[in-house]
Amino acid sequence: MIERKVGQAPNHSGPPLHGTRMTSPKSILLHLDSSTRTATRVEVARKLADAFGARVTGMPCTLSALVRYPSALEGAAEAMAIMLALDKQSRDKAYATFMASGGDSARMHWVEPMNDAPWGFNRRALYADLLILAQRDGDSAYAGELPAEFVSTVLVESGRPALVLPYIATGSVDPVGRTVLVAWKETREAARAVSAALPWLRGAARVHAVCYGNAAESQLRSLQVYLDSHGVTAVVQAGVQVRGDDAGDAGAHLLSLAADVGAELLVMGCYGHSRAREWVLGGVTRTILQSMTLPVLMSH
């Protein structure tokens, strides 16, 4: 791994979250469900709302009980009533968590779930500057509340940047990372992610950037010039050489590097497309979404 230090990282006593050159998100869409990690997402959303002067819309989004338990349709009317009661229970739990975790702030707003969840969430996402989502935990008792591809579907179909929080996060999560790692690639997805991340990058004490491939060093030099124009000073690193069929290894290396530099936020493009009605994710994207250990700001 080649490391080159470009300038000196600014020594901030705290992240300067407001500035004349900063384009910060003003409309944030927060995904809510009845899982135990919802409280963390609400807390992060409230902190971001205060930091960026943004409005947060908290929207519960889960599959209806009838979709999750289709055999209930074959039962008596009592079974239907039970399914509707489960949906109300899920909604009420999400609302209680929302209010208890910061939803009573003037910047936080609750909206009722849409009948065509989760697809209605995708439409609502089109009207947001930033989404706050959660990494899927397949072992959670709440995993069945959403399709396995929910996060990737929202990212790809809406085209909006999203802050995805890992399910392993414990305690309070700082939504404005003091140390940020940018995974760079000369693609529109990565460019959109970096553009969306500028409020975080300008507020960070340290910014690292890594790129993989034969042209990594030249691409990083170009990225450094771009970041410098926005007042961001970075440490740039050329990553290990990775073959196309070993893209998952690049994802693992990326997470390892994030730990080595003490990153609190990872910025990267989200790569994927639909094929035969199924989402096919790029190797690095798939690895990160499955194994992420820190918040990730992604954009398709």
Domain boundary among the residues 142, 165, 188 is at: 165
Same structural domain for residues 89 and 208? no
User: What is the predicted pLDDT for the residue at 80?
Assistant: 78
Same structural domain for residues 135 and 202? no
Q: What is the DSSP letter of 166?
A: P
User: What is the predicted pLDDT for the residue at 20?
Assistant: 34
User: What is the predicted pLDDT for the residue at 259?
Assistant: 94
Same structural domain for residues 42 and 143? yes
Is residue 282 domain-resident? yes
User: What is the predicted pLDDT for the residue at 19?
Assistant: 38
Is residue 111 domain-resident? yes
Same structural domain for residues 132 and 234? no
Taking alpha carbons only, the member of 207, 231, 54, 19 closest to residue 129 is 54
Is residue 133 domain-resident? yes
Is residue 48 domain-resident? yes
Is residue 170 domain-resident? no
Q: State pTM to two decimals.
A: 0.86
User: What is the predicted pLDDT for the residue at 46?
Assistant: 95
Is residue 220 domain-resident? yes
CB neighbours of 14 closer than 8 A, spacing ≥ 6?
none
* Burial profile 158-176: b = 16 or more Cβ within 10 angstroms, e = fewer: bebbbbbbbbebeeebebb
User: Residue 228's domain spans which residues?
Assistant: 2-17+176-295
User: What is the predicted pLDDT for the residue at 121?
Assistant: 94
Q: Which two tokens stand for residue 121?
A: 């969430």
Domain boundary among the residues 133, 165, 197 is at: 165
Same structural domain for residues 276 and 155? no
Same structural domain for residues 65 and 7? no
User: What is the predicted pLDDT for the residue at 242?
Assistant: 55
Same structural domain for residues 31 and 146? yes
User: What is the predicted pLDDT for the residue at 273?
Assistant: 64
Q: What is the pLDDT along the chain (300 residues), one digit of tens a residue?
A: 334 343 333 333 333 333 334 479 999 999 999 998 999 999 999 999 999 999 999 999 999 887 887 666 666 677 778 888 989 999 999 999 999 999 999 999 999 988 887 889 999 999 999 999 999 988 887 888 888 889 988 998 899 999 999 988 655 667 667 899 999 999 999 999 999 999 999 999 999 999 988 899 999 999 999 999 999 999 998 776 655 445 667 888 899 999 999 999 999 999 876 654 455 667 788 899 999 999 999 999
Same structural domain for residues 7 and 36? no
Domain boundary among the residues 132, 165, 198 is at: 165
CA dihedral 259, 261, 267, 270 (to 10 degrees): -40
Same structural domain for residues 156 and 40? yes
Q: What is the CATH number of the domain that holds 200?
A: 3.40.50.620
Same structural domain for residues 7 and 73? no
User: What is the predicted pLDDT for the residue at 173?
Assistant: 66
Taking alpha carbons only, the member of 176, 164, 128, 131 closest to residue 18 is 176
Is residue 184 domain-resident? yes
| CA atoms within a 13 Å half-sphere pointing along the CA-CB vector of 134 | 32
Is residue 22 domain-resident? no
User: What is the predicted pLDDT for the residue at 248?
Assistant: 63
